[in-house]
Structure 1
């Protein structure tokens, strides 16, 4: 049997000035990042929509999962 013990190192101390400094860095970099232009979505023809096939084993697994509020 494999020993899967993990040790998580503590987070390093904040040496850069905190959240305010991070926000300032982001504000300075924002003009350098180009966001793609939004394109309008068009409806898909029903003839292009196909069913989804799920292997029986996966379907049983999903069916056995608890329903959390739906």
Structure 2
């Protein structure tokens, strides 16, 4: 038979407030590292093409109400 009980080192405080949440975050922060900031290279204009929408999707979108109707 398998024991399905899971023991957590810091039980979740479901009734806690902002102070409890900040404490939880402070305990988790050392376990996570932020990735190095990577600046994406611009996409060459030659690779940018128009968008193709299947006819069924175009009809569906055309039948949708616009904002303010």
* TM-score bracket relative to the smaller structure: 0.5 to 0.7
Runs of 4+ in 1 over 6 A off after TM superposition: none
- Structure 2 residue aligned with 1:25: 24
- TM-score normalised to structure 1 length: 0.63
In the TM superposition, residue 41 of structure 1 has moved relative to its aligned partner by: 2.2
Cα RMSD of the aligned pairs, angstroms, is 2.0
Q: Any stretches of 5+ residues in structure 1 without a counterpart?
A: 1-14
Q: Which has the higher contact order (CA 8 A, sep 6+)?
A: 2
In the TM superposition, residue 52 of structure 1 has moved relative to its aligned partner by: 1.7
- TM-score normalised to structure 2 length: 0.64
Deviations 1:8-51 (A, max 9, x none): xxxxxxx8251222320111111210111111122111111122
Q: Work out the number of aligned pairs and report it.
A: 55
